[in-house]
Amino acid sequence: MRHLLKPLDFTVEEINELLNLARDIGQNRSRYAHVCDGKKLATLFYEPSTRTRLSFEAAMLNLGGSVLGFQSASASSASKGESVADTVRVVSCYADIIAMRHPKEGAPLVASLYSGVPIINAGDGGHQHPTQTLTDLMTIRSLSGRLEHMTVGLCGDLKFGRTVHSLIHALIRYPGIRFVLISPMELRVPSYIREDVLCGNGIPFEESSSLEEALPKLDILYMTRVQKERFFNEADYIRLKDSYILTAEKMKLAKKDMYVLHPLPRVNEISVEVDEDPRAAYFRQVQYGVYVRMALIMTLLGVKKPC
Ligand code: NCD
């Protein structure tokens, strides 16, 4: 039985296969409409979410399966003191696969030790978010045509942003990747990412506080929201929340074929005027997210591609 807890749980070849399957799903949706008939997905969300939960649910419904679950810790027995271990033991009896989001780092890993069915980490605290990363890889590969030889700018909350941490882990396995890490001092990537993941693997990167200076160099700009819910004090959040705002004016500094990604939700960090720019890829990214999750559910359930 396999789980997806972090992007490195899949090899580069497996990710490639999964993205190929997701592409085929996008091109031939009706062929996949019944491949998971009779299967159930449980979404256990201990933290708020719109697109991740709904996109998992849409993915399973598109495959012919059904869904059950809860959308907040207060609506589950966690509010009575039940442990994650017990909850997944119980839910394993109801569902064939579980997607879990939890505010505590490592909760999906604990779940995987007790679950009788595959666990998908749908975001654990400030740690990892592997299905967003698969979505990001699919978006980059589909729009830029490659995952190699790219200069990727990551901008905003690089400290608490789990999508950033997962994406860095995943991208360093492709040749010719460079990063420009754009953030205020207080929101730089955690030192384990800088020292162990980037320096430790000899990956070229620079840290900058200026989006304007970085923009002309980039093939991909990955904007992120300042993660309000992970701040210890509100004054710091208020001071840092509008550190970067991408505008149509700033987009003039970027390459003609640079794409802008964002895991969403957006707050102020991308002005709505940028949505009209053909390089704005964040709403297309949402659609890719459904195809990727369909491919992932099929892969973890061992469901074969229909012929
Ligand atoms: C992200 C998350 O939950 O980490 N959202 C998402 O899943 N698309 C990003 C965020 O909340 O800022």
Which range, of 50-54, 199-203, 279-283, averages the lowest pLDDT?
50-54
- As a whole number, mean pLDDT of residues 144-148 equals 98
Pocket of ligand 1 (CB under 6 A): 51-52, 123, 129, 132, 162-163, 225, 263-265
Which range, of 42-51, 201-210, 212-221, 263-272, averages the lowest pLDDT?
42-51
Q: Is the pLDDT of residue 295 over 90?
A: yes
Q: Is the pLDDT of residue 303 over 90?
A: yes
pLDDT at 79: 80
pLDDT at 229: 87
Asked if 52 is an active-site residue, the reply is yes
pLDDT at 74: 84
pLDDT at 75: 79
pLDDT at 49: 87
Tokens (6 digits) for 80: 């009575």
For the chain, what is the mean pLDDT? Answer: 96
Contacts of residues 210-215 at CB distance under 8 Å and 24 or more positions apart, as own/partner, are 210/182, 211/153, 211/155, 211/182, 211/244, 211/246, 211/250, 212/250, 212/253, 214/153, 214/155, 214/180, 214/182, 215/153, 215/250, 215/251, 215/253, 215/254, 215/258
Describe the crossing of helices 84-91 and 107-114 by its angle, rounded to 10 degrees.
50
Write the pLDDT tens digit of every residue in 229-266.
888 899 999 999 999 999 999 999 999 999 999 999 99
Separation between Cα atoms, residue 229 and residue 269, nearest integer Å? 16
Q: Is the pLDDT of residue 73 over 90?
A: no
Please give the model's pTM, rounded to 2 decimal places.
0.96
Q: How far is the CA of 132 from the centre of ligand 1 (A)?
A: 8
pLDDT at 77: 82
Asked if 43 is an active-site residue, the reply is no
The total of other beta-carbon atoms located within 10 Å of residue 245's CB is 14
- As a whole number, mean pLDDT of residues 4-31 equals 98
Contact 41, 95 (CB under 8 A): yes
For every residue of 202-219, DSSP letters joined together read T--EEEES-HHHHGGG-S
- As a whole number, mean pLDDT of residues 132-143 equals 98
Separation between Cα atoms, residue 92 and residue 98, nearest integer Å? 8
Q: How far is the CA of 265 from the centre of ligand 1 (A)?
A: 6
Q: Is the pLDDT of residue 288 over 90?
A: yes
Per-residue confidence band for 78, with pLDDT thresholds at 50, 70 and 90: confident
pLDDT at 239: 93
Q: How far is the CA of 307 from the centre of ligand 1 (A)?
A: 35
Asked if 225 is an active-site residue, the reply is no
Per-residue confidence band for 307, with pLDDT thresholds at 50, 70 and 90: confident
- As a whole number, mean pLDDT of residues 153-162 equals 97
Asked if 101 is an active-site residue, the reply is yes
Q: Is the pLDDT of residue 80 over 90?
A: no
Tokens (6 digits) for 153: 């700018």
- As a whole number, mean pLDDT of residues 44-71 equals 94
Tokens (6 digits) for 174: 């492709």
Q: Which atom of ligand 1 is nearest to the CA of 289?
A: 8
Q: How far is the CA of 159 from the centre of ligand 1 (A)?
A: 14
